[in-house]
Amino acid sequence: MSVYNFCAGPATLPPAVMQKAQQEFLDWQGIGVSVMEISHRSDPFLALAKQSEERLRRLMNIPEEYTVLFMHGGGRGQFSAVPLNLHQDNAPAVYCHSGIWSQGAFDEACKFTNAVSIDIRNDSESEFSVVPVAEWKLPDTASYIHYCPNETIDGIELFDVPKHPTAPIIADMSSNILSREINVSDFDLIYAGAQKNIGPSGLCIVIVKKTLLEREGLPRPGILDYALETKQGSMFNTPPTFAWYLANEVFAWIEEQGGVKAVEELNKKKATLLYDFIDSSDFYSNKVASGSRSLMNVPFWLNDESLNSVFLSKASESGLLALEGHRSVGGMRASIYNAMPYEGVVALVEFMARFAQEHS
Ligand SMILES: *Cc1c(COP(=O)(O)O)cnc(C)c1O
């Protein structure tokens, strides 16, 4: 029986990457030891660091004016790093609120800086959608504008990028980085915890416009300091080397798939299959409006919630793992990141159809 893991994070990784890591676990590049046992300042590891940055730059088409950092502390580390590095006196940090993760970023920023939250949600009984970016009420001056293009828990994705005449645009792409093509120049800073589309938890990718490194910000720990980490090549202290190695392998795997464009096409095919099935069913539902639906995280509800625990146990028996929704929203959630094959979504839809038939 094939097993498909729909966990929201840490999430499923490409089997080809895991097998390669297994093969070279004890002996990396013929050195005779594991990649996690060598100095991060050794030539082989520095070559890996360089290669991974080059791959990511190719995959995302990252312009020269941006620096790429491999940092510690996951997505939430950046909830602190962003205000600490980018705070400006007399200009509020603006947080666009679309769901639970953007709220979390705002709450953290309030510890360090004067932050304001702007509600960009349209919530009615029958439908949830996000206000079009042109209608967001952004203030004239801001230290920066922060938003979350993919709300992992709520299953909401924002496909348009906000614009501001002066304030930098900051995006938490933890759960949708590398899932579809974007124009990096639309952003001033992108960050993404690795454990959804990149590799193991702990690592965080930061792509930041070099001009932002000149900001004084607030006193901050060295490991969260963009300018310092840039100067040190992300090695102010020992980086999470094994996670970095796996990220490099995942980047290579995406290139083998045909790059982000090819992955995006498959992601759309997977999401369409699942949403179309949910919409056509009177047993399951999802109330996110079609233009705001996430390609990566698909929450859904059984109309009869008393069947939730049977649904989950039958799904596990069928090899479909981790479908329980986040505790704060309930219901179910299928996370279908880059590494989830099309066959996994087919297996899920077939199971859901069978379950509905047996319980209607
Ligand atoms: C998972 C996630 C985070 C938090 O990541 P941690 O590595 O656990 O700190 C932040 N933002 C989004 C959108 C996420 O999906």
Q: Domain segments of the chain: what residues?
A: 16-257, 258-358
Below-70 pLDDT ranges, the chain: none
- At 171-181, the pLDDT tens digits run 999 999 999 99
Task: Tell me the CA–centroid distance for residue 174 and ligand 1, in Å.
Answer: 6
| Residue 238, helix vs strand vs coil | coil
Q: Which of 98, 101, 158, 326 to mutate to test the pocket of ligand 1 (most atoms within 8 A of CB)?
A: 101
- At 213-242, the pLDDT tens digits run 999 999 999 999 999 999 999 999 999 999
| pTM assigned to the model | 0.98
Annotated binding site for pyridoxal 5'-phosphate: 75-76, 101, 152, 172, 195, 237-238
Annotated binding site: 41, 75-76, 101, 152, 172, 195, 237-238
Omega cis (within 30) before 10: yes
pLDDT of residue 125: 79
Residue ranges around ligand 1 (CB below 6 Å): 9, 74-76, 101, 148, 152, 172, 174-175, 193, 196, 201
- Residue 194 CA: nearest ligand 1 atom is 7
Record: fold of 258-358: Aspartate Aminotransferase, domain 1 (3.90.1150)
pLDDT of residue 127: 86
d(C-alpha 94, C-alpha 172), whole Å: 14
By the 8 A CB rule, do 173 and 121 touch? no
Contacts of range 21-25, beta carbons closer than 8 Å, 24 or more positions apart? 21/245, 21/246, 21/249
The CA-atom distances, in angstroms, between 154 and each of 40, 266, 273 are 38, 22, 19
By the 8 A CB rule, do 240 and 203 touch? yes
What is the gyration radius of the CA atoms in the chain, in angstroms?
A: 21
CATH of span 16-257: 3.40.640.10
pLDDT of residue 1: 85
| Residue 89, helix vs strand vs coil | coil
Q: How many other C-beta atoms can be found within 10 angstroms of the C-beta atom of residue 82?
A: 30
Q: Is 22 left (phi over 0), alpha (psi -120 to 50) or beta?
A: alpha
